[in-house]
Structure 1
Amino acid sequence: MSDRVFKLGLLINPLAGLGGSVALKGSDGVAAEALARGAKPKAPLRMKQALEVLLPYKDNIHILTGAGPLGETLALELGFTTQVVYTGTEPSTARDSRSLAAVLADTHKPDLLLFAGGDGTARDVYAEVDDCLPVLGVPAGVKIHSGVYAITPHAAGVVVRMLLQGELVSLMSADVMDIDEEAFRQGTVRARRFGEMTVPAEPRYVQAVKMGGKEVDELVLADIAANLIEQMDDELFIMGSGSTVAAVMEELGLDNTLLGVDLIQDRDLLASDLTANQLLEQTAAAWEGKDNPGVKLVITLIGGQGHILGRGNQQLSPELIRRIGKENIIILATKTKLKALEGRPLIVDSGDPELDREMSGYYRVTTGYHDYVMYQVANPDLNE
């Protein structure tokens, strides 16, 4: 690689993703409540996973960032040459993300701005950067509709590594999207496009904009639901978010948290809109004793992106996934959604890279009544 020093802008929104594990479905305006419920900051860890890919190249990287939790603490911990260009408030606010982005864009002009957050953070960065420099998001929020994010934190690191190695990485414009979190918490997805930013054009590692809307083929959804209900015995069923899973709940005649996680047994609703800790507590008994009923997890994929874990369902913690086991995960999807991926694999972004690797393989996906396809789960960046 070249001896030229790569100037990397680094921005961490410490509040991003706080609401996910405690079922608040976002962080906008509810960070204090999320912390009070026991939520732990995730954005620094997610950025760390990205930067660890770059450790062999740290002598050729000069990081420009904000003081303390905005990036300085992590960069110094990992041993990168670090320059603080902005000192924010304590505790951090969205204004800090915008202010740091503005300083980087207007004064320092890094080769790339790497930021960790969710769609709200992407909006803040866009407000100051627009398309004046390339950016790449490390997914750390609850909702990731924007096309400016890598598919996983590790994938973000792989893309930056490609730039450092002098590979011919094209640039493209990608949409900055966000939704109304108040409406989101009431079960309504109301997305809006705010503009575009320039990102590395690496479709293996940079996600597509999420497809919105409810599946219109109600007959297919009814067939998928009937197939699953036919298999239900006395196990506990954790019902993930999304309209495909919602079709099962509707067929059962049960109230459903469209954008949350519910728990059912014997085709009855036990609990609604559970947090990560509540799921661990509610299912703990199922693994105790010889006569445990077992636990199944029912999930679907995010249309257009292919994520089955880590987008809108952070309540499904790595600890819970390991307890459940790959063999007890049921994936539901219409063939229309699978075909829209154009052969790209399903993605797991659990927050635990080792678990993401363990989850790789082929899964039977229910696509209708007694109708299945085999489809691969394989984060492409983990093979790099």
Structure 2
Amino acid sequence: MFKLGLIINPLAGLGGAVALKGSDGVAQQALALGAEPKAELRMVQALQLLQPLADRLTLYCAGGKMGESVARRLGFKVEVVHRPANITDANDSFHTAAALHQLGVDLILFAGGDGTARDIFSAVGSQQAVLGVPAGVKIHSGVYAITPKAAGLVAVQMVQGELVSVTDAEVRDIDENAFRQGQVKARYFGEMMVPEALRFMQAVKQGGRESEQLVLDDIAAEVIEQMEDEFQYIVGSGSTVAAVMAQLGLDNTLLGVDLVQAGELVGTDLTAQQLLQAVANKPTKLVITLIGGQGHLFGRGNQQLCPALIKAVGRENIIVLATKTKLTALGGRALLADTGDTQLNAELAGHYRIVTGYRDAVLYPLANPEES
């Protein structure tokens, strides 16, 4: 009988869609702004793949929304190891992880972000196999699968007794207060043991600012020359896209999403709901870049770009920017979209024209992470 530990941080990712850049210390504010919990839904996508194997495993978890509710709803045999209060916090993740480790579970499957990974690391260190279901705003750590379904597939391999290697993956987190001020201060906390199914696991996000300033200027010049006044442009996060805003002479939310039309700034640091309202019945294009090292276009730090918004804009109106150095660093791996909508992930798959300089572009694939 496989012993699967389960932890869901029900507050993970709440701050993303409402432009709070994270959930640490602002969960109630995010809820007041209309944020909807997503971590449980992400875990469901992973656990559904394990349902055919339910007779082979027992799920050990925290009570209520931290795992018990969804596990029972999906028909698994459940044992509760920790009862959290109505409002959960980091201590609940820590105590649950510690209890699971003490029980000797074969794997801890957890849904959250970098803060959750930190809490679990502080409880189990590098001696416990863990696997993250991405559900947070900022996911810089290497302990997460590329999508919830990918996490489920790795867990299935383990439950079925397949030979799955393990490796040590970094746990990293950033200072959210600094992040909300446009500064990325990432810190290394240690390493945890994860199943090494590399095509299902994301790389650690590369830090640092883009050094190829001349290339960035060329990319910006190309984008600006192609801009049409009748379109409004959603401008995503990242230093590559920030170069476009700099050449336009507009203030830029480096770690947020802005809106531009006819060379003027229409909105800054917009939430998912504000963006949906802005694109209603208005021709819109989206300017976006990938996360260095990971290759994600959607689902890492830009939850404001929700599935409904991406559908409203349309794949044909997505403008992707990247330096060739950034693409080369992927080592041939395809770009990824983890939107939270598996059908949309599949629809977004295919080759994209990537603007890599002035009058310079390459074709590069975006893979459906459920099939890659």
Shorter-normalised TM range: over 0.9
Letter in structure 1 aligned against 2:175: D
Match of 2:323 in 1: 334
Deviations 1:187-236 (A, max 9, x none): 00000000110001122111111001111000000000000000001201
**CA shift at 1:383, angstroms?**
2.0
Rounded to whole Å, the distance in 1 between the matches of 2:54 and 2:367 is 28
Match of 1:78 in 2: 74
Deviations 1:268-309 (A, max 9, x none): 1000000000000111131xxxxxxx1100110000000000
Aligned residues between the structures: 371
Rounded to whole Å, the distance in 2 between the matches of 1:240 and 1:56 is 40
Match of 1:346 in 2: 335
Match of 2:303 in 1: 314
Match of 2:200 in 1: 205
> Secondary structure at the residue paired with 2:189?
strand
**CA shift at 1:149, angstroms?**
0.5
Match of 2:268 in 1: 272
Alignment partner of 1:224 is 2:219: yes
Of 284, 289, 292, 1:303 maps to 292
Of 35, 41, 49, 2:31 maps to 35
Q: Equivalent pairs: percent with the same residue?
A: 61
Alignment partner of 1:355 is 2:351: no
**CA shift at 1:13, angstroms?**
0.3
**CA shift at 1:105, angstroms?**
1.1
Alignment partner of 1:11 is 2:34: no
Match of 2:190 in 1: 195
**CA shift at 1:147, angstroms?**
0.5
Deviations 1:132-186 (A, max 9, x none): 2100000000000001000111110111112123222110001100000000000
Segments of 5+ residues of structure 1 without an aligned counterpart are 287-293
Match of 2:209 in 1: 214
Rounded to whole Å, the distance in 2 between the matches of 1:48 and 1:262 is 32
Q: Is the 8 A contact 1:318 1:355 kept in 2?
A: yes
> Secondary structure at the residue paired with 1:285?
coil
**CA shift at 1:61, angstroms?**
1.7
> Secondary structure at the residue paired with 1:155?
helix
Deviations 1:246-270 (A, max 9, x none): 0100010000000000000001100
Segments of 5+ residues of structure 2 without an aligned counterpart are none
| Range with greater deviation from structure 2 (299-308 or 85-94) | 85-94
Alignment partner of 1:101 is 2:97: yes
- How do residues 133-144 of structure 1 correspond to structure 2 at under 5 angstroms? 133-144=128-139
Rounded to whole Å, the distance in 1 between the matches of 2:38 and 2:319 is 27
Alignment partner of 1:262 is 2:262: no
**CA shift at 1:76, angstroms?**
0.7
Q: CA RMSD in A?
A: 0.9
Of 353, 366, 370, 1:377 maps to 366
Deviations 1:26-48 (A, max 9, x none): 00000010011010111000111
> Secondary structure at the residue paired with 2:242?
helix
Rounded to whole Å, the distance in 1 between the matches of 2:247 and 2:76 is 54
**CA shift at 1:367, angstroms?**
0.6
Rounded to whole Å, the distance in 2 between the matches of 1:17 and 1:10 is 18
Letter in structure 2 aligned against 1:327: E
Alignment partner of 1:180 is 2:175: yes
Rounded to whole Å, the distance in 1 between the matches of 2:100 and 2:305 is 35
Match of 1:148 in 2: 143
Letter in structure 1 aligned against 2:83: T
**CA shift at 1:52, angstroms?**
1.1
- How do residues 43-122 of structure 1 correspond to structure 2 at under 5 angstroms? 43-106=39-102, 108-122=103-117
Q: Is the 8 A contact 1:345 1:379 kept in 2?
A: no
Letter in structure 2 aligned against 1:238: I
Rounded to whole Å, the distance in 2 between the matches of 1:242 and 1:114 is 30
Q: Is the 8 A contact 2:112 2:134 kept in 1?
A: yes
**CA shift at 1:359, angstroms?**
0.7
> Secondary structure at the residue paired with 1:363?
strand
Q: Is the 8 A contact 1:13 1:116 kept in 2?
A: yes
Letter in structure 2 aligned against 1:247: A
Rounded to whole Å, the distance in 1 between the matches of 2:288 and 2:157 is 33
Alignment partner of 1:246 is 2:235: no
Q: Is the 8 A contact 2:257 2:268 kept in 1?
A: yes
Rounded to whole Å, the distance in 1 between the matches of 2:139 and 2:301 is 8
4+ runs of 1 displaced by more than 6 Å?
none
Rounded to whole Å, the distance in 1 between the matches of 2:51 and 2:240 is 41
Q: Is the 8 A contact 2:279 2:313 kept in 1?
A: no
Rounded to whole Å, the distance in 2 between the matches of 1:253 and 1:158 is 47
Q: Is the 8 A contact 2:348 2:368 kept in 1?
A: no
Rounded to whole Å, the distance in 1 between the matches of 2:165 and 2:220 is 43
Rounded to whole Å, the distance in 1 between the matches of 2:349 and 2:135 is 21
Letter in structure 2 aligned against 1:325: G
Q: Is the 8 A contact 2:242 2:254 kept in 1?
A: yes
Letter in structure 2 aligned against 1:18: L
> Secondary structure at the residue paired with 1:116?
strand
Alignment partner of 1:285 is 2:281: yes
Q: Is the 8 A contact 2:137 2:300 kept in 1?
A: yes
**CA shift at 1:338, angstroms?**
0.5
Letter in structure 2 aligned against 1:362: H
Letter in structure 1 aligned against 2:311: R
